[in-house]
Amino acid sequence: MSKKNKQNAAVRQKHNEDVINELLGEIEHEPDIEIEEDVANLGEEPEDDVKIAETAEEGRAKRSRTFFAVAVVVIIMAVIGLISSIRFIANGISKLADNTELKNEFARFILPVVANDIAPFENETEITNSSKVSCSIWNILVNKDTSAFKSSPAGGILVPEYNVGVSCKEIFGTSATITHQTVGTGDTQFVYDEENHVYSCTNNMRLLNYAPKITAMSESNGTYVLTVDYIPPSVTMAVEGLGVTVEADKTLEYTINRWDKKNTLMSVRFISGQPDNL
């Protein structure tokens, strides 16, 4: 190709490029850079979205901790309530059991007095010596271990007068005094041997006049007031297990002072009925 033709071809090519550039504009390289950056950041969350997600996650974690703390408090309160309920029930059961046990203890304590049907009194000094001796010996026979006592010639046991004196103080108080003497009649007689300082005694519960039944009990500052029905033992044994209600011959009020688990009979008063020895 001649030199002139080459120049003409170059001019036409330049003209064509100018036309294309005018129609489309010149292609710059910056879009390629932006595309590369977009590709590099592909899969990454925008910074604002990350912050929002982190804030939401922190909120959920905070709520979870709050809910957990509340749940722990609720559980603790429930456990405390359960323990309190158990203690309340246990204390109630224990209280009922203690009352029953204490009533039984009082029944054993006053049995010798009820059995002898002694006259009501307001002070220990009003009680006759014969009643004191009789109550004191019966207290030994029904509430003490008599296995160490010697046998009497009549087939009973020999109770030392010292034990009788101690028994008297156990019932009527440490200031109670006693004059030793033979008491009772027939099979219920306790014969006093002044020389040997012993009582020859029988131990037959069928010979008792009455058995106590405590129907009410109240307490104030260690002083107990008992309502005691006097039940004939023979009647009690006859209807035992038959579901028959036993009527009391009479009802008396017993006042007992209890200190350091030791009982002292302070007084016996009428409520209903009349004593046999008046």
Res 220: pLDDT: 93
- pTM comes to 0.62
Instruction: Say how far apart CA 196 and CA 99 lie, in whole Å.
Output: 43
Instruction: Indicate if 147 and 169 belong to the same structural domain.
Output: yes
What's the CATH code of the domain at 241? 3.10.450
Give the pLDDT of residue 114. 95
Higher pLDDT pick, 155 / 51: 155
Are 138 and 202 in the same domain?
A: yes
Which two three-digit tokens encode residue 3? 């030199």
Q: What is the mean pLDDT of residues 106-121?
A: 95
Question: Do 185 and 139 reside in the same domain of the chain?
Answer: yes
Q: What is the mean predicted confidence (pLDDT) over 104-111?
A: 95
Overall domain count for the chain: 2
Q: Are residues 105 and 233 in the same domain?
A: yes
| DSSP secondary structure letters along 20-73 | HHHHH-PPPSHHHHHHHHHHHTTTPPPHHHHHHHHHHHHHHHHHHHHHHHHHHH
Burial of 135 (0-12, 13-18, 19+ CB in 10 A): buried
Domain with 229, as residue range(s), is 95-115+209-272
Domain shared by 99 and 235, yes or no = yes
Q: Are residues 126 and 193 in the same domain?
A: yes
Q: What was the pLDDT predicted at 278?
A: 39
Looking at residue 188, the DSSP 8-state letter turns out to be G
Of 151, 180, 206, the one marking the end of a domain is: 206
pLDDT tens for 185-195 read 877 889 999 99
Is 24 a member of any domain? no
Phi, psi of 232 (to 5 degrees): -65, 125
Q: Which two tokens stand for residue 193?
A: 């041997």
The confidence score (pLDDT) of residue 92 equals: 47
pLDDT of residue 143: 93
Q: Which stretch, 4-18, 157-171, 200-214, has highest mean pLDDT? A: 157-171
Closest CA to 254 of 93, 134, 135: 135
pLDDT of residue 276: 45
Query: Does residue 107 sit in the same domain as residue 219?
Result: yes
Q: What is the pLDDT of residue 86?
A: 56
Query: Predicted confidence band at 13 (pLDDT cuts at 50, 70, 90)?
Result: low
Greater confidence, 238 or 123? 123
Residues 147 and 259 in one domain: no
